[in-house]
């Protein structure tokens, strides 16, 4: 069964993907290539942002282990990917509010 939600902003189906099985079960076969291309861009962006957070922490004098922990705390770990099949090829990354994270 294909579980989707409608994205009201664009009227396109949106899929929450937590596992590879979700991709197999939810994404229409003819849309897999676009989904994976957009997912690859999002993953690379997330990796870059995590590295920036780690570099900032190290620049503030934290040792490498602490910087790694801070990068995880500030940026978090992505547990799922939400793909909107709108055909636009646009990527947006929405981060949780980490304003309460303190060192």
Packing angle of the helix pair 32-59, 64-75 (nearest 10 deg) = 130
* Alpha-carbon gap, residue 40 to 15, rounded angstroms: 16
Q: What is the pLDDT of residues 8-25, one digit of tens each?
A: 455 899 999 999 999 999
Residue 55 is predicted with a pLDDT of 85
- Render pLDDT for 75-99 as a digit per residue (tens, 0 to 9): 666 678 889 999 888 877 666 555 5
pTM score: 0.70
Measured CA to CA in angstroms, residue 83 lies from 45, 63, 72 at distances of 15, 36, 23
Rg from Cα positions in the chain: 16
Quote the pLDDT of residue 8. 46
Between 93 and 6, the higher pLDDT residue: 93
pLDDT of res. 15: 94
């Amino acid at each position: 069964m294909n579980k989707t939600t409608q994205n009201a902003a664009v009227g396109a189906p949106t899929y929450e993907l937590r596992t590879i099985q979700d991709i197999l079960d939810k994404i229409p076969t003819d849309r897999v290539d676009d989904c994976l291309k957009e997912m690859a861009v999002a993953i690379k962006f997330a990796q870059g942002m995590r590295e920036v957070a780690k570099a900032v922490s190290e620049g503030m004098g934290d040792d490498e282990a602490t910087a790694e922990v801070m990068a995880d705390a500030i940026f978090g770990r992505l547990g799922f990917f939400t793909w909107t099949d709108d055909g636009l090829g646009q990527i947006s990354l929405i981060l949780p509010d980490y304003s309460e994270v303190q060192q």
